[in-house]
């Protein structure tokens, strides 16, 4: 859209805001469910005229301007009120170009701004840090843009060099984990969170005991990587991998997660490889399909059981999308993408899912799916009575799977002495998610529950 059209839109929108008042129901970013909002709304014509790419999301629950007859998705993406700042890290590069033009500058300024946000090792914390931008453009950004959305609280470092970064956000705190390479392979991984808490209530996961407080915005997800790079690359080296395996179920916040992942792989910014950015899911089938449509990044599925009975217990989402539905969807999606493969994550719980019979069933379940399997040592915490499988049992389990020709690895814990390992993130409040009834045959295995 030409700059003159955008300016015309802003002028028309300003008039609309003064004369139109309606009531509509839209999901507000940062809230759960839908909230009825009474607000000054843009007319439907203005909303349709303004390109979807340039509509910013709010960073916290608030009243937003939207068209009463617009779709729910469009309502979430309306440009924030004219007097509010645009949160830059919510925008893709194309969105940023449109926004820069809308405030009267050339697209070339968007490229420079993008590189200060994500490229060339700059990771600017303030607009003043963007020393190469024109003075007038910086002044405009000071008035119209917002860079930072997270408040850094503390950094914990584990004995193995793993770091847990704690941020304060509306609704609580979130945690990001930086895992430096341990074997000299040069792989430095940042594990980002996608929600404050989690609604999935996986019985072995500390975060799952929190329940869900709210989704994180695109900006709040991307900024975790920015801050991790800023804090750690000087002594650790460049970040090579990002995994969406922190707090929350990533595909329960699919739109923001997919947008954040796509920002991370943009060649003008972080320029991470698509196969080095991995989004994990407990098995939300519709959102899994959405992910494959909208992103080229890698997918990891937390499987963790080989029967519906066990998975219904330890991962309640299985009651909605059982193993057959989940694996069927994966087979269908991957058949259309012959160069893709999926990672299966399998947390080993002593006496629950670690028998050799489980190993044989696992081989049968994944037959015909291009995949790699990661066996993960369970990391104990105060809210779980599960026990980790012995290394001897994990090796036996691995050998059964490997004999079938499936690629399988044992993933060892990192950062567990600082509650920074897989399944240990978060802090419990006064209200916690309920525990599921333990099947009778597993009572001895989880006697402490």
Known catalytic membership, residue 5: no
Residue of 45, 141, 148, 71 whose CA lies nearest to 99: 141
CA-to-CA dists, residue 357 to 203, 307, 362, 377, angstroms: 22, 11, 9, 18
Q: Two tokens at 325?
A: 């539905």
DSSP 31: S
Q: Is 181 a catalytic residue?
A: no
Kindly report the backbone phi and psi dihedral angles of residue 87, in degrees, each rounded to the nearest multiple of 5, phi listed first. -85, 105
List, in sequence order, every residue forming a beta bridge with 174; answer none if it has no partner. 167
Q: Whole-angstrom Cα distance, residue 406 to residue 369?
A: 10
Q: What 3 state SS string does 122-186 have?
A: CCCCCHHHCCCCCHHHHHHHHHHEECCCCEEEEEEECCCCCEEEEEEECCEEEEEEEECCCCCCC
> Residues for the chain: how many in total?
449
Q: Rounded to whole angstroms, how far apart are CA atoms 249 and 257?
A: 10
In the set 58, 205, 297, 422, the catalytic residue is 422
Given the residues 76, 101, 175, 333, the one annotated as active site: 175
β-strand pairing of 407-411 with 195-197: unpaired
DSSP class of 371: E
The helix or strand, by DSSP H or E, that contains position 428, with its residue range, turns out to be: none
> Pairing mode, if any, of strands 277-281 and 195-197?
unpaired
Task: Report, as residue numbers or ranges, the catalytic residues.
Answer: 175, 422
């Amino acid at each position: 859209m030409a700059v003159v059209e955008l300016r015309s839109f802003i002028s028309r929108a300003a008039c609309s805001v003064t004369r139109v008042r309606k009531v509509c129901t839209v999901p507000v970013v940062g809230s759960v469910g839908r909230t009825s909002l009474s607000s000054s709304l843009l007319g439907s014509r203005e909303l349709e005229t303004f390109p979807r790419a340039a509509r910013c999301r709010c960073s916290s629950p608030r009243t937003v301007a939207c068209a009463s007859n617009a779709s729910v998705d469009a309502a979430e993406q309306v440009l924030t009120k004219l007097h509010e700042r645009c949160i830059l890290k919510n925008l893709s590069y194309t969105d940023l170009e449109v926004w820069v033009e809308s405030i009267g500058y050339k697209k070339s300024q968007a490229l420079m701004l993008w590189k200060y946000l994500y490229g060339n090792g700059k990771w600017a914390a303030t607009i003043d840090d963007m020393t190469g931008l024109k003075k007038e453009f910086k002044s405009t950004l000071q008035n119209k843009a917002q860079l930072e959305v997270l408040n850094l609280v503390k950094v914990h470092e584990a004995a193995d060099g793993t770091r847990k970064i704690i941020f304060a956000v509306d609704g609580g705190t979130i945690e990001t984990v930086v895992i430096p390479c341990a074997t000299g392979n040069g792989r430095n991984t940042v594990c980002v969170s996608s929600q404050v808490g989690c609604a999935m209530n996986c019985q072995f996961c500390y975060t799952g005991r929190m329940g869900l407080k709210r989704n994180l915005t695109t900006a709040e997800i991307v900024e975790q990587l920015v801050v991790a790079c800023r804090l750690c690359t000087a002594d650790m080296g460049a970040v090579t991998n990002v995994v969406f395996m922190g707090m929350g179920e990533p595909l329960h916040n699919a739109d923001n997660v997919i947008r954040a992942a796509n920002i991370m792989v943009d060649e003008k910014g972080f320029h991470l490889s698509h196969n080095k950015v991995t989004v994990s899911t407990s098995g939300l089938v519709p959102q899994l399909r959405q992910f494959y449509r909208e992103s080229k990044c890698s997918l990891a599925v937390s499987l963790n059981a080989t029967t519906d009975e066990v998975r219904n217990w330890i991962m309640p989402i299985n009651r909605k999308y059982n193993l057959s539905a989940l694996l069927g969807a994966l087979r269908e999606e991957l058949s259309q993408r012959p160069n893709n493969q999926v990672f299966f994550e399998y947390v080993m719980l002593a006496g629950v899912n670690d028998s050799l019979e489980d190993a044989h069933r696992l081989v049968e379940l994944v037959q015909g799916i291009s995949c790699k399997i990661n066996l993960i040592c369970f990391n104990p915490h105060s809210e779980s009575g599960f026990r980790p499988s012995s290394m001897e049992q994990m090796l036996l389990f691995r050998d059964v799977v490997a004999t079938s020709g499936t690629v399988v690895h044992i993933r060892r814990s990192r950062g567990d002495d600082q509650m920074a390992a897989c399944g240990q993130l978060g802090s419990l409040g006064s209200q916690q998610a309920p525990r599921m009834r333990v099947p009778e045959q597993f009572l001895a295995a989880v006697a402490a529950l």
